[in-house]
Structure 1
Amino acid sequence: MNNRIVICGGGLMGLSVAYNLAKRGVKELFLFERNCIGSHNSSRVNTGLFVSPMFYSEPSLRSVARKSLNIYNELAATGAFEFNKCGRVYLSSTDESETQARRLLTRLVTDPSSSFQVEAIDCPSEMLARWPMLATEDVKLAVFSPLDATIDVSGLSRILADNCREMGVQIFENCSIKKVLINEESRVYAVDTDEGFIDVMAFVDAAGIDSSLVDVLGLPDADHPVRIAAHPCSFTFLSTDPLPHCQSSSQSQPVFVCMDENTFICPLKTKTICGGFTMEGGDLQALPPSSQTSKGSVTEWHMPTPVWDNFRIILRHLIDRCPELAQLSRGELMTSAEMYTPDMKPLIGESDQAKGFFLATGLNGQGVSFAGGLGSVLAEWILSGSSSIPVDKLELTRFLPLHSNPHYLYLRVPEIAFNTPKNPLSSHQCHTARNLRTSPIHHSLRDAGAVFAEIMGYERPLWYNTASHFDQDSDGPRLPRPSNFSGEDQLIGKPKWFPLVSKEYSTCRERVGLIDMTSFSKFDIQGADVVPLLQRLCSGNIDCPVGT
C-alpha cells in the first residue's frame, strides 16, 4: 500500500507538518522547498513574535497556540535556538482599548496552565519608572502578558529540519513541485517534481504565500484551481539600532504593543524591530501578480519595495510612543508578506475538490504562534481522519467558492492585516468587499433604513434605523448614509441599537412583522418517511394538513 506523503513548503508550517507526521511514525515523507529551508519565513522578518495562547478569544486558536508553545518548549530544551520569553505589554490610551485590555487580562489571569505573574498597571508614573524609554502620560492601562516570546525563527527552522532528517524525512532544497495529479475519482495520486514523479497517498500544500500557485491537474472543473480563500498582503517593518536603555540594562525588555495606534516595538539587545498597521498611506498592499499563464493563473507574486513615505504615519506613532527611536542613527525598512483569510482565521484541512489534498496556510501574520500547533492538528487529521480538538472554524471548507474570488480577496486582505493585531471578536464586521450576495429586495430594505451585516457573504439586516438613514450637510443635499455595519459591539453596556430592536420586537409581538428569509437555507425533503423525520427534527407539529 502506498503511504507516501509529499509536503510542499520548507517554512515553519511545512516543517511542522513533517515533524509531527514523522513523530507519529510515518516513514515515507518527502518535503520540497524551491529555495532553502526557512528562506521565505515572513515570521523571521519580525523577529519571530510568539503571542500568548490566551491572547485569542477563539478557543480553537488558543488550543492551537498552546500546542505550538509545548512543541517549542520541547525543542528549546536542546538549546539549539533562542527562545526568549520576554513577555508583552499592551498599552491602552482610550476607554475602548482599556476594555479590550481588561478582557485580555481576565483571560490571562484565569489561564490554569500559567504559573507566571500577570500584571496590570494603571499608573503612568509607575509605567515610566519601569519602562523609561516610553512616553506613558496618556496611557490608561498597561497589561503585562508573561508567556509572549521572541523566537529565532531561522534556528527553529533548522532544528525542525534536523529532527525531521533524523526521523527519516527526505528534504529536497532548491527543488520545485511542478504539478499535483488528480485521478478520475478526484483523489491525489502523484506529484511531479524536479526530481521526478512520486506516487503519493496525500499531498500537503504548506507553501505560504505561494500556496495558491501550486498547479493541480485533473480537477473536475479544469478551468478553476483548488479553491483557497487566502491572498498575500505585504507589510513593512523598521529594523534599527538597539535602544540606549536596552544596551545599558541587563534584563531583556518585553515587546510593547500600542493598542490604539496599532503599532509594536520589539527592543532587543542587538537591534530594535518596530512597525505597525494602518489603512492609510498605502503601507498594507494586497500583492499583485508579477507573472501569469495564458489562462490568467498567477505564477509569481510581485513584492513591493519599502517606501518611507508610506511608513510615515506608523513612524510618527512609534516616535511619539518611544522618543528614543528618533535619536537612533540608522534604520532599514523591510517588506515581507503573509497569507490572510477573509475571517482572520487559518486555513487547514482536506479540500472538498480532491481527496488527499491537504492545506495549511493563511496564518494571518501569526505564523510562529500557529505553525507548531497546526502541524500537529493536520498530522493527526491526515492519519486518523479527524482532529482531537475542534477546528471546524479553521477548516478550509468553511468558505464558499465566491470567497476565493481574486478580486474579492484583493480588496479584503489589507483590512484583515490591519485588524489581526487587534484580535477582534467573532462578530466583527469588515467594511471592504461587501455586498457579495444580496436579497432581491435589498434596495427596498436599505431604503427602509436597514443596517446590514455580512454572514457567509450574504447581507442581512441587523436592525432598522429610519431616523438616521440620511446624513445632511449644512449646505448640501440629504445623502444616504452607508447601510453596511462595520466594526463590532463592545458587549458592555446598553448597545446603540437597543431601542431600534426593541421597537421591531414590539411590532412583531403586537402587530405583524415581515422578515426577508432569502438568505436562510431551505430544504425540499421528500419520501415515505418525511413526516416521522420532521416530527423528530422540528419543535412544532408537522403532521397536519397542507396550508394549516
Structure 2
Amino acid sequence: MSDIPAKARVVIVGGGVIGCSVAYHLAKKGWTDVVLLERKQLTSGTTWHAAGLIAQLRATKNMTKLAKYSQELYGTLEEETGVATGFKRNGSITVALTEERKEEIYRQAAMARAFGVEVEEISNERVLEMYPHINLDGIKGAVYLPLDGQGDPGNIALALAKGAKQNGALVKERTKVTGFVKEGRKVTGVEWESDDGSASGTIECDMVVNCGGMWGREVGKMAGVNVPLQACEHFYIVTENIEGMSQLPVLRVPDEYAYYKEDAGKILLGAFEPEAKPWAVDGIPSDFEFDQLPEDFDHFEPILEMAVERMPILAEAGIHTFFNGPESFTPDDAYHLGLAPEMDNVWVAAGFNSIGIQSAGGAGLALSEWMTTGERPFDLGDVDIARMQPFQNNGKYLEERSRETLGLLYKDHFPFKQKETARGVRRSPLHHHLLENGAVMGEFAGWERANWIADAGQEAEYKYSWKRQNFFGNVAQEHKAIRENVGMYDMSSFGKIRVEGPDATAYMNYVGGGQYDVPVGKIVYTQFLNRTGGIEADVTVTRLSETAYLVVTPAATRQADQTWMMRNKGDFNVVITDVTPGEAVLAVMGPNSRKLLEMVSPNDFSNAVNPFGTAQEIELGMGLARVHRVTYVGELGWEVYVSSDMAGHAFETLWEAGQDLDLKLCGMHMMDTCRIEKGFRHFGHDITCEDHVIDAGLGFAVKTDKPDFIGRDAVLQRKETGPQNRMLQFKLTDSEPLLYHNEPILRDGEVVSYLTSGAYGHHLGGAIGLGYVPCAGEKAADVLASTYEIDVMGTRVKAEASLKPMYDPTSERVKA
C-alpha cells in the first residue's frame, strides 16, 4: 500500500537540487502537506553531474542577493542535517585576454562593490601567486572574488531533501507524474504512478511546483503552462591525481570558454563552447537516470588545446574522466521562476542554465516567500516565467536558440549584444520598409525591431565594443533629428491590451493608480501598483469609447501586464484582449511633427483640437488611422496607430511627404538616449515591483482621491512619511565615459547606490544615468547639496545631479 497521501497543500515535481530547495524552504516556513515526487532517484537528472561552482556575483542586485543567500545556506546545511555538502569558500579568479574583456570584468568588479560583494582587481603576479600552474601569456587583467566557493552538488541536494523531511515534507522517489487534473485555470490533482507500475493514484492539491529540470517543458505542457527550455550536452574532463596539488581558487578564462576547478587533488576542466549541441530534441529517454551521453572528443578538442596552453600541467596529467551530461538552457540564459501566466496555481522553478547549484538556495527561498504571501518578495523580473512569450515553447525555435545560449555564458557580454539564432519570428507589418531604408535589426521578446539606421554605404550590422560602437554617430544624428526637426520610428512591437465591457471604467480605476473616468479620447499615463505601492506596470491608457480602453505596455511585459490585469479582474464585467498584432504604430516626433502630419491628413492637429494627452481618429493618405499625442522622447509628437492592412500605405505616405522636411528614420537606441535626457523611467530597470511609486518620482500619476485602488494605502502612507529614496538624474561632467547600468553611485565619497539605467545624452553632451539615492528623512535640497560621482570601471567620474529632467524640465516642447 502506497504511503503517498490523497491530498497535499503542494506537490513539487522533480527531485533535483531546485525541487529539494523549494521543498526545504516551504517546510521551513511551516507548510504542512508538502509532497515532492521524483520520477527516478534524487539528483539523477542534471544535479548529480554539475560542477558545483558557487559564485556570488550575478548580473543584477537581486540575482546577486539570491546567490549570496545560497552560499550562506550551504555553509550551515551540514550542521543542520548532518549531510556533508563539501562547501568551501576558496575564491574565484576571472582573467581577461582582451582589452574589451578587461573592461567587462572591471565593470563587473565596480558593480560588485555596489552590491556589497567583496572583490579585488589583481595583478598578473597575484594571479600566479594564487594559481601557480597558470600560463600568464596574454592575460591583460584579472578580478578576484575571495568569498566565491564550490561544493558537492549531489550532497547539497540531499542535505536540502533531508532538511525538508526533518520539517515534515514527504520526499518520494521512483514516482512519476503522469498528468494533471485541471479545472479552469487551476490544477486540482496530480496523477502519478510508481516506477515499477505497482501503484498509481491522484493527489488532490492546492498548488503545483514544476521543478522538472530538463523535463520542465514536458511537465509544463501536461499542466497547460509554457516552460521554454532545451537540454544541451555539457562537457568536462577530470584529470588523474596531480602530485602536490593543493586547494586552488576556481579559475575562469571566458575568452577560451573554459573554467578550472581543483577538487581532491585533481583538476576539472569545463567548457561553455561557442556552439552547443542540443540533446534529446525529440524527447528525453524514459529510462534516463544518472546517464552519461556519448563522448564527443572532436567537439571538445579545441577547448582542450587552449587549456593545455593555459595550464601546461594538463599536458602531463592523464585524463581520468571525459564527461558529457545534459543541462537545460532557456532562450535568454535566465532561469524560470514564479507563477505561470496560464494557470493560477502552477509555479515554476526550472531551466537554470548551468548555475543551478549556486542559484538553488536563493531560488527556493524567493519562491517559497512568493507562494506564502502571494506577492514577490522583491523584483524578480529577470527570471519571472511571465517574461516568456508563448511562441518560445516552439521546439524548432528552442533547438536553434539553445545552440547559442550555452556559449553566451562565456562570450563577451557587450552592451546591446543581439542574439544571432532563432531570429525573424515576430515582424512588424513595416519590417521590409525598414530594411529597405537601412534599418539594423535587434530582437526583443521575439520581435525584430529597428535599433538604428545605417547610412548609405555603411555596413548594416553591429560591431560590438564597450566603447563607442559603430552606430554611435548614427544614433547621434537620429537624436538630433528628433530634437531639432522630425523623426519617425516603428513602435508596433509595444503591447496593446483592450479592456472592454460595462464595468471598464470601474475596473480600470481599481487596477490602476490613475483616474480613468475621463472623456473619450483622453490618454492617461499611469502605473499599476501592488499592495506595497511598488510598480507592477508602467503604461498609457487611452479611452476609446464609453466602454473600451486601450492599455499600451512595453513589448517584453505585455503578457505579464495582461496576466496581472486578469488576476485582479474579480467580478468586474470586462473582457481583456491582446490586440498587439492588429495595429502597427509609427511614432512621428520632433518640432516639425505637426507640420508633417498636416501634409498627409486634412485633420486638425492644433492644441485646441488635439492637445497633449489626447487621441483622435484621422484620415491618413487614402486610409484611416488614430493618432495619440504622447511621447517617450520628450518632444512634440504623435504615435500613429493604423490597422496592419494599411500600415504599409501609412509608412509610404509619411515617408514620401517627409522628404521635403528631411524626415529621419530612427531606431530604438535613439528612443533610449532621448528618454533618459528627459528623465523618463524605463520599466524593469528604473521602476520595478519593489520600487515605490512615490520614491520613483511618479506620485503625480497616482490619484489618491479615488475611493479604492490597489496600492492606495501604501501610497498615502508614503506621502505622509516622505520618500525613502529619490530617483536622481546624473550627467557625467567628462563627456568621454559611457554609462550602461549598475555603475555605483558615490555620494560625498561613499557608495550609496547604483545606476538603474544609463545611455549617452547626445543633446546634453555626456553620459546620463538614473538611479535611486537613499534619503529617509531628508529634504530634496539636502540630497542635491551633496557631491556625486559615478564609478566607471573603477574610476570615479564627477557627476551633476538633478531631481528635475535636465532636458526641457517644464515640458514646454512636449506641449508646443
- Smaller-chain TM-score bracket: 0.7 to 0.9
1:425-484 CA-to-partner distances (Å, cap 9, x unmatched) read 6843211111111122322322322111111111111111134456xxxxxxxxxx6x5x
Structure 1 pair 508–168 and aligned structure 2 pair: CA distance change class (3 A): closer
Gaps of 5+ in 2: 1-5, 194-199, 506-516, 527-539, 542-610, 619-626, 628-816
**How much does 1:203 deviate?**
0.9
Residue of 74, 77, 93 corresponding to 2:76: 74
1:490-515 CA-to-partner distances (Å, cap 9, x unmatched) read 2xx43321211222233344444332
**How much does 1:2 deviate?**
6.5
Query: Per chain length, whose mean CA-contact separation is higher, i.e. which structure has more relative contact order (CA < 8 Å, sep 6+)?
Result: 1
Which residue is 1:259 aligned to? 254
Which residue is 2:218 aligned to? 213
Residues 251-330 of structure 1 mapped to structure 2, 5 A cutoff? 252-280=247-275, 284-289=276-281, 304-330=293-319
Amino acid at match of 1:233: C
Q: Is residue 2:67 matched to residue 1:65?
A: yes
Which residue is 1:131 aligned to? 131
1:385-425 CA-to-partner distances (Å, cap 9, x unmatched) read 12212112211111111111111111111211111245836
Structure 2 distance, partners of 1:137, 1:214, is: 48
Which residue is 2:493 aligned to? 519
Amino acid at match of 1:151: G
Structure 1 pair 512–332 and aligned structure 2 pair: CA distance change class (3 A): same
Structure 2 distance, partners of 1:365, 1:100, is: 21
Which residue is 2:192 aligned to? 193
8 Å Cα contact 1:46-1:273 kept in structure 2: no
Structure 1 distance, partners of 2:125, 2:524, is: 66
Gaps of 5+ in 1: 220-224, 293-297, 471-480
Which residue is 2:553 aligned to? none
Residue aligned with 2:409, SS: helix
8 Å Cα contact 1:266-1:272 kept in structure 2: yes
Which entry has the higher C-alpha Rg, 1 or 2?
2
Residues 464-483 of structure 1 mapped to structure 2, 5 A cutoff? 464-469=453-458, 483=461
Structure 1 distance, partners of 2:429, 2:439, is: 14
Residue aligned with 2:209, SS: strand
Residue aligned with 1:454, SS: strand
Structure 1 distance, partners of 2:304, 2:53, is: 20
8 Å Cα contact 2:130-2:248 kept in structure 1: no
| Residue-pair matches, total | 507
Residue of 68, 73, 83 corresponding to 2:87: 83
8 Å Cα contact 2:273-2:303 kept in structure 1: yes
Which residue is 1:531 aligned to? 519
Structure 1 pair 524–35 and aligned structure 2 pair: CA distance change class (3 A): closer
Structure 1 distance, partners of 2:127, 2:442, is: 40
Residue aligned with 1:374, SS: helix
**How much does 1:541 deviate?**
3.1
Q: Is residue 2:494 matched to residue 1:506?
A: no
The TM-score, its normalising length taken from structure 2, stands at 0.58
**How much does 1:264 deviate?**
0.7
8 Å Cα contact 2:293-2:326 kept in structure 1: no
Residues 97-496 of structure 1 mapped to structure 2, 5 A cutoff? 97-112=101-116, 114=118, 118-122=119-123, 124-183=124-183, 185-194=184-193, 195-214=200-219, 225-246=224-245, 249=246, 252-280=247-275, 284-289=276-281, 304-421=293-410, 424=413, 427-469=416-458, 483=461, 485=462, 490=466, 493-496=467-470
Amino acid at match of 2:201: G
8 Å Cα contact 1:239-1:272 kept in structure 2: yes
**How much does 1:285 deviate?**
1.0
Greater mean alpha carbon deviation, residues 380-389 or residues 438-447: 438-447
Structure 2 distance, partners of 1:68, 1:390, is: 18
Amino acid at match of 1:180: F
1:80-102 CA-to-partner distances (Å, cap 9, x unmatched) read 32111111111112101111121
8 Å Cα contact 1:429-1:488 kept in structure 2: no
The TM-score, its normalising length taken from structure 1, stands at 0.85
Structure 1 pair 94–22 and aligned structure 2 pair: CA distance change class (3 A): same
Residue of 82, 100, 105 corresponding to 1:96: 100
Higher strand share: 2
What root-mean-square deviation, in Å, do the aligned CA atoms of Structure 1 and Structure 2 show? 2.8
**How much does 1:48 deviate?**
0.8
1:237-275 CA-to-partner distances (Å, cap 9, x unmatched) read 1111233441xx4xx111111121121111223322102
8 Å Cα contact 2:93-2:252 kept in structure 1: yes
8 Å Cα contact 1:276-1:314 kept in structure 2: yes
Report the identity percentage: 26
Structure 1 pair 401–370 and aligned structure 2 pair: CA distance change class (3 A): same
Structure 1 pair 431–216 and aligned structure 2 pair: CA distance change class (3 A): closer
Greater mean alpha carbon deviation, residues 515-524 or residues 198-207: 515-524
Greater mean alpha carbon deviation, residues 232-241 or residues 266-275: 266-275
Residue aligned with 2:159, SS: helix
